[in-house]
Amino acid sequence: MKSQNIKAKSWVISMALAMFSMFSSTAANAADGCKFLLCIAGPWSSISQCVPTVHAVFHDLARGRPFPTCNMAGAGNSANNTWVGESSCPSMYRRYGENGYEGCSYPGLISVSVNGAPWSQVFWNTGGSTSTLYSNTATTAMTQQTGSAPIDDHFVTDLNRWNTQVTQCQGSGGTVEFDSFGAFQRCYLPESNGGG
């Protein structure tokens, strides 16, 4: 627990220094990349100064432009974007049709690391919507600060709503399979005996 508190304090100090550096910098590209990294690591949608920057990056990524960089981020602080497939899309966001898997409601995934450890996974779509899965360290760090902006709780809300299927499956004598995000994926029901 003490280690988490030290990491959380270190993160706050690192992000504050990055913010200071960002506003004192004159290089537009580095400032944009640093501002984006700072915003995407935190509750960006609750911070009005972050919204245009994050939406601009989503717009650029959707058009095949490169992911922004920040030379001032410091060792172990980074983010990268990948495009999700069926296995990397949480079950509650998978869309299926007649021909099977058709896509993810959030086709982009920005993975953020702070101090060399996973911080958050930001699922995003081209409309600018996000659903963020925060690490325990990130949640602790962002909720300890008095007056801090509310964090994005869409992922946890969607996960809890989706996982209500677990009770129904288990009530029918089934065995539940979860995906790597802890989301209900499949219910294996016992085979019925006899015809029927």
For 37-64, letters b (16+ CB in 10 Å) and e give: bbbbbbbbbeeeebeebbeebbeebeee
Per mean pLDDT, which range of 93-102, 134-143, 160-169 is the poorest?
134-143
Note the pLDDT of residue 145: 74
pLDDT band for 185, please (50, 70, 90 cuts): very high
Please, what is the average pLDDT of the chain?
83
Per mean pLDDT, which range of 70-84, 137-151, 182-196 is the poorest?
182-196
21-36, pLDDT tens digit by residue? 333 333 334 337 889 9
Q: Is the four-CA dihedral 93, 121, 84, 166 of positive or negative sign?
A: negative
Q: How many whole angstroms separate alpha carbon 126 and alpha carbon 104?
A: 12
The dihedral region occupied by 64, where left means phi > 0, alpha psi between -120 and 50, and beta the remainder, is left
For 185, the 3-state DSSP assignment is strand
Q: Which residue has the tokens 């004598």?
A: 173
Task: Tell me what the mean pLDDT of segment 45-58 comes to.
Answer: 92
pLDDT band for 50, please (50, 70, 90 cuts): very high
Note the pLDDT of residue 8: 43
User: Do you know the residue count of the chain?
Assistant: 196
* Alpha carbons within 13 A on the beta-carbon side of 186: 5
* Strand partners for 104: 94
Per mean pLDDT, which range of 61-65, 71-75, 88-92 is the poorest?
71-75
Domain locations in the chain?
2-152
The CA-based angle 46-52-53, given to 5 degrees, is 100
Question: What is the pTM for the complete model shown?
Answer: 0.79
188 DSSP 8-state letter: E
The CA-based angle 155-159-163, given to 5 degrees, is 180
Alpha-carbon Rg for the chain, nearest whole angstrom, is 20
The DSSP secondary structure of 98-167, one letter per residue, reads: TTEEEEESS-EEEEEEETTEEEEEEEE-TTS-EEEEE-HHHHHHHHHSTTPPPP--HHHHHHHHHTTHHH
The pLDDT of residue 43 is above 80: yes
Note the pLDDT of residue 174: 92
